A and B are shown apart, each in its own frame.
Chain A
């Protein structure tokens, strides 16, 4: 065993092929390719490719030369924008995919939680799904037996244990799925932002549960866009950008770096970076503009939503953050799913009536997903807009964020008491 590092990564890289490159998707393509090109030509092409270091235009490095160490018992956050390589890193560490270059040594049993409710089957009962999901996450039957009551109590589904989970409300479904995962007791826990589905209290409850049960020695790697959660949960952090580690250190420093860098450019349009897509539904593009005059500004959004696989009707949510990453408010134009999966792309036009905001920079994250455990997508801090005027007409005194961002309309009268 080398030192006391729980995870030691050296020079990790992951290259993906884009589009229709050598991964022929149908047998016909493969056969056509086989017969259309002579063996000599193919060999020559392959040789050429290998000489060029396989770096042709059809490949993309989703992760490049990433090295870091995580001590036993540490809590490390991995932050970065969409497409920065966070999920790829987690997938490599949890052995779902293999790196193209580099090496990782992991000391300890790894539990990874890239999705809540992996392997849940809607036709099985709650009880059956606990065993199935537990086994898939790597628990032994004896462990599940021992923790069964705890899992059920944590999820608060006692009465519905023998009901098929397809009849569960989405809240019950998520609670049960969380609960099984929360009772996994690995030495090293890898958590993707799936946990961000719940509110912060619930995330804290879950991670606290996982971290505290056996106490010391548990190592947690947490990938999140939610800077508040990161700050609350992690001591140190890594900032990834375009697949590379650009900052490593204390969480506060990393967050400061992350927030201050890369958002200088005007961001009224956002396009999804060309990395390996994930999940059945995703945000492909966002266009925005602010219309109207203070104090009644309207944020108009034009969003292209992509359906990559069957999914239940999806809905949108917009988080509006301050420059430090704290969420000020959320807009949710519809409470039920309204984006079907009957076409590969849908255009959604949304308009948000902004409350009276003080002059500052604001960021908007666009979330798309369903009310079920299907993986959604977040275009994190996709849009930046700036408010220039005070919402209070005629005010000359400057506003400061010390007194918040919203200036609600107010009236006062004065008379002799």
Chain B
């Protein structure tokens, strides 16, 4: 976006901010400051998404819990019981649920963020605001669902009498890592879907494929040790293994995986954000 505010957002000389509008330039800065200035808008958009999502459903916000719980039941039956997949020596339902909670957050966040711009095309054509606010708010609204599902996970941990350690605190940066991954991939697909409507059909496929590339149903220990660093290029692999290590005490030693995952997620996020910014000027002309 070639809109810059040379003197910052508030003009030091007077009370009037100066805005310069020019033709698009090749290199577009992220301008996170503008997004920060509009954080209340991000909040309201996220709040709208949550309200609207559950307003007309009979079960309301319990859907946030039901989705990963159902997946856990299915996984436990087919992969745990029938398939007999190992689960790091932990009860399979608990073990898979610890992976499904961050996974559901990621997949919902990614899917909704990818659709978010096309869903808001009316707004994009009528009002100016930092475009990044839309996908960011969407992923934040998915984070609320994550918190609800996490409460169920906490109850299960209590039920299975797992002893918690100080590692629990690692859940916070790991959740941030899942957020960063969902947002990063979401930005890519949101921007692409404005131009190529086919992307809408690609995303569900991608999410399904991604699920199998993540150690949700099976432990990553099934993979040979030397492949694990490569495997961790999928940031969700690091998140899921990290969750099990931090919450359940699984002996997954996810340290190196999480480092690789963090780097990969950072690349996805920054790449996505710059790509988004470089094409957002065309949104109003294309949608």
Contact = CB atoms under 8 A, between A and B. Distances in A.
Interface string A214-255: 000000000000000000000000000000000000000000
B198 A132 contact: no
Nearest to A16: B285
**6 closest Cβ pairs, A-B complex:** A27-B198, A95-B128, A135-B44, A104-B21, A115-B126, A27-B196
B197 A121 contact: no
Contacts of B128: 94-96, 112
B22 A103 contact: yes
Contacts of A119: 122-123, 127
27 contacts: A1-B14, A23-B195, A23-B282, A25-B196, A30-B196, A93-B21, A96-B127, A96-B128, A97-B281, A98-B24, A102-B22, A105-B19, A108-B16, A115-B126, A118-B122, A118-B126, A119-B122, A119-B123, A121-B48, A123-B51, A123-B56, A124-B48, A132-B45, A132-B47, A135-B44, A136-B127, A187-B16
B222 interface: no
B1 A98 contact: yes
B17 interface: yes
Interface stretch (A137-145, A155-163, A287-295, A357-365): A137-145
Given A135-B44, A138-B41, 19 more contacts: A23-B195, A25-B197, A26-B197, A28-B198, A92-B21, A97-B281, A100-B23, A103-B21, A103-B22, A105-B18, A107-B16, A107-B18, A108-B17, A109-B17, A118-B122, A118-B126, A135-B41, A136-B127, A276-B285
Contacts of B56: 123
A312 interface: no
A128 B21 CA distance: 33
Interface string B6-31: 00000101101111111110000000
A110 to B, nearest CB: 7
A115 B284 CA distance: 14
Interface string A64-103: 0000000000000000000000000001111111111111
A123 B57 CA distance: 12
Interface in B129-150: 129
A24 B286 CA distance: 10
A258 interface: no
A123 B55 CA distance: 7
B44 A123 contact: no
Contacts of B41: 135-136, 138
A103 B199 contact: no
Interface string A273-306: 0001010000000000000000000000000000
B71 interface: no
Contact of B16 (A101, A109, A112, A136): A109
A131 B51 CA distance: 13
A389 to B, nearest CB: 47
Nearest to B20: A105
Contact of A102 (B1, B19, B23, B285): B23
Contact of A140 (B40, B47, B127, B198): B40
Interface string B50-76: 011001100000000000000000000
B195 A112 contact: no
Contacts of A97: 281, 284-285
A97 B129 CA distance: 11
Contacts of A101: 23
